[in-house]
Amino acid sequence: MEHRLGRLPAHTLIGTDSPGAEASWVVGITWWSAVVGGFQMSFVIAVPETIAAAATDLADLGSTIAGANAAAAANTTSLLAAGADEISAAIAALFGAHGRAYQAASAEAAAFHGRFVQALTTGGAPMRPPRPPP
């Protein structure tokens, strides 16, 4: 029976450095491939603590970006015209429309980000071993 075990590159997402990983940033998930009896099988090794830390880091990053977007919203969505003429008013309206479009896209990105963080948080939980009673 033939046995070979080879390490595939670590999956690159966002997280912490993993010793020996071929990528500089990993989430604690590493794929292994083995050939046993002529059949190739894949294995996944996940480190729940690393996944939880990555989820926390991403949640903090999302909060920072949301705060910056909220602070910039008033200044980017309702601009005063530089002059009293209609050209200045049209340009201010155009830039205001771009600001509102950015805020709408940012809200969609924040919603996706929230779902991604939630998926990391809940997806890593089943892999955590149960804690012994005190």
Q: Are 87 and 22 within one domain?
A: no
Q: Is 7 helix (H, G, I), strand (E, B) or coil?
A: strand
Per-residue pLDDT tens digits for 16-66: 444 444 433 444 555 556 666 666 666 667 777 888 888 899 999 999 999
Q: Tell me, yes or no, whether 32 and 82 share the same domain.
A: no
Mark whether 40 and 87 lie in a shared domain.
Answer: no
Structural domain count, the chain: 2
pLDDT 10s digits, 62-102: 999 999 999 999 988 988 899 999 999 999 999 999 999 99
Give the CATH number, domain containing residue 106.
Answer: 1.10.287
Domain span at residue 37?
3-46
Residues 84, 40 share a domain: no
Are 13 and 68 members of one domain? no
Q: Are 124 and 55 in contact (CB under 8 A)?
A: yes
Give the Cα separation of 55 and 61 in Å (integer): 10
DSSP tag of 16: B
Across 1-8, average pLDDT: 42
Whether residues 59 and 104 share a domain: the answer is: yes
The model's pTM is 0.60
Asked if residue 132 is part of any domain, the answer here is no
User: Between the CA atoms of 90, 91, 93 and 95, what dihedral angle is there, to the nearest 10 degrees?
Assistant: 160
In angstroms, how far is CA 95 from the centroid of its own chain?
29
Residue type, 83: G
* Residues 81 and 17 occupy one common structural domain: no
Beta-carbon contacts of residue 38 (< 8 Å; ≥ 6 apart)? 2
**Could you tell me if 122 and 73 lie in one domain?**
yes
Reported as a pLDDT band with limits 50, 70 and 90, residue 123 is: confident
Burial class (CB in 10 A: 0-12, 13-18, 19+), 85: exposed
